[in-house]
Amino acid sequence: MAIASSGSTQYANPSSSTNRGALVVVTTLFFMWGFCTVLNDALIPHLQSIFALTYLKASLIQLAFFGSYFLFAQPAGKLVETIGYQRTMIVGLITMAIGALLFLPAAQTAKYPLFLAAQVVLAAGVTVLQVAANPYVTILGPPETASSRLNLTQAFNTLGDTVAPYIGSILILGGSAVELAPSNPVALMAFRIHQAASVKKPYIVIAGILVLLALAIALYRFPRIEVTQDFRPGAGDVSKESIWKHPHVWLGAIAIFIYVGAEVSIGSFLAKYIADPAIGHMALQKATQLVTLYWAGMMVGRFVGSAVMQRVAPNKLLMLAGCGAALMVLCSLLSTGTVALVTILAVGLFNSIMFPTIFTLGVAELGPLTGRGSGLLVQAIVGGAGVPVLMGHMADKYGIHHALVLPFLCYLFIIYYGLSGYRIKPGESKSHVEAVA
């Protein structure tokens, strides 16, 4: 296990015990960005119905959201370096609140491009939180339990993921009657404004909660951690060091790109997939509520995985999870009805430990380069933008059922990373010890 041996290189003065108070406070951020991210699973089918969107055009919502990771991850890393973790978290929360409020004019005018713009701003705030909070959790305790600790906080992230589709199905989908769109342009616009109005209340509440969280973070006295410098770009003499010389880092970035792409692709189109006559044959609102089970599986898996990882090497657990996810997608792809429904929902359970495990394996033994590695891995979340667009194109052309071949292929790479892609080349740790010295 790479992380277990990283204490002398990754941490200049590692803590012997986890700072539970700070961990609890930061965990609330994981819940909120999980909720805001997965609320898109209810928003997508709603906007798809309002604007009569194809799967490809509907996937632009995820392109706008996850594309922000690519645009803002590196600037967020610089922000952490400049103002520190606590203030960066506050900036992220306020940015998210602004993005949530932008849904109001988007709904009032019923303009699809404005919804996409609101997604970009909201996701910019989420990106800032991710860049600050993920590495911060890893330094709030002993390095050998960093992977377990991040899996635990990610479990609460998935709690937000779990409740979001159900709440969204009630407040967004349940708040608008099923009607046929009129053909008259004036009547059509009035129809869209009426249907889009159900989006306003949820995002007003979200904005209010985010502002309160920002105030709470601002008032909380976070501990001073001397090793923070090892998680900032430019700490130590690393000006000549390249992150690309460390295969486990850029292979980890590819793994995160592919994993997030597969997870988001399935989640984005899951409600439509379940509602399909060949699968669940049910109303869209009920199908969206069942999406909760997909994210609930991830939540349970992360709580269990956090405990199991105390005894089992993270890379082995990652490989087994990849095998399970690939098998479930394949079973759903090759079947219909209840079998296809149950197996696709079960993918969430195997997705559970993938992101936090890949992240901790990817930044293992980087020492003063950890900041750059973290930025690169968070930037790779842009996979949630690209892969769903490709899957949307395949769904339009071949059907949503056959489009599952794409996430199946994605999970094969996750298996590879757990088997050998995570390995650190001989001599890497030594070079970082010299860099710190």
Those residues with Cβ within 8 angstroms of residue 28's Cβ, 6 or more apart along the chain or in another chain: 156, 213, 216
Indicate if the pLDDT at residue 275 is higher than 80.
Answer: yes
Please write the tens of the pLDDT for every residue from 79-99: 887 888 889 999 999 999 999
Alpha-carbon gap, residue 264 to 383, rounded angstroms:
9
Alpha-carbon gap, residue 231 to 197, rounded angstroms:
43
Alpha-carbon gap, residue 417 to 294, rounded angstroms:
24
Q: How far is residue 408 CA from its own chain's centroid?
A: 19
Sign of the Cα torsion 355, 357, 358, 359 reads: positive
Q: What is the pLDDT of residue 6?
A: 32
The listed range with the strongest mean pLDDT (45-59, 89-103, 186-200, 385-399) is 89-103
> Tokens 């339009």 appear where?
396
Q: What is the pLDDT of residue 230?
A: 38
Kindly state the average pLDDT of the residues 87-116. 94
Please write the tens of the pLDDT for every residue from 346-356: 999 999 889 88
pTM of the shown model: 0.73
Show the domain range for 351: 3-436
- CATH number of the domain that residue 175 is part of: 1.20.1250.20
Q: What is the pLDDT of residue 107?
A: 92
**Is residue 243 a contact partner of residue 376, using CB atoms and an 8 Å limit?**
yes
More confident residue, 220 or 10: 220
Kindly state the average pLDDT of the residues 321-343. 95
Q: What is the pLDDT of residue 16?
A: 52
Please write the tens of the pLDDT for every residue from 5-23: 233 333 334 455 556 778 8
Q: How many domains does the chain have?
A: 1
Alpha-carbon gap, residue 54 to 341, rounded angstroms:
22
What proportion of the chain, given as a percentage, has pLDDT over 70? Answer: 84
**Is residue 375 a contact partner of residue 69, using CB atoms and an 8 Å limit?**
no
Q: How far is residue 427 CA from its own chain's centroid?
A: 32
Alpha-carbon gap, residue 184 to 208, rounded angstroms:
37
Q: What is the DSSP letter of 236?
A: S
Q: Determine which of 221-225, 247-251, 296-300 has the lowest per-residue pLDDT on average.
A: 221-225
Indicate if the pLDDT at residue 299 is higher than 80.
Answer: yes
Helix (H) or strand (E) holding 274: helix 247-275
More confident residue, 7 or 171: 171
Alpha-carbon gap, residue 152 to 45, rounded angstroms:
31
More confident residue, 130 or 414: 414
Q: Determine which of 222-226, 227-231, 269-273 has the lowest per-residue pLDDT on average.
A: 227-231
Alpha-carbon gap, residue 103 to 210, rounded angstroms:
15
Buried b (16+ CB within 10 A) or exposed e, 131-158: bbbbbbbbbbbbbebbbbbbbbbbbbbb
Kindly state the average pLDDT of the residues 379-401. 90
Indicate if the pLDDT at residue 237 is higher than 70.
Answer: no
Indicate if the pLDDT at residue 174 is higher than 50.
Answer: yes
Q: Determine which of 209-218, 233-242, 317-326, 403-412 has the lowest per-residue pLDDT on average.
A: 233-242
Please give the biggest Cα pair distance in the chain: 72
Please write the tens of the pLDDT for every residue from 33-52: 889 888 888 888 888 888 88
Question: Closest Cα partner for 8 from 151, 148, 142?
Answer: 142
Kindly state the average pLDDT of the residues 176-187. 63
Q: What is the pLDDT of residue 332?
A: 96
- pLDDT, mean over the chain: 82
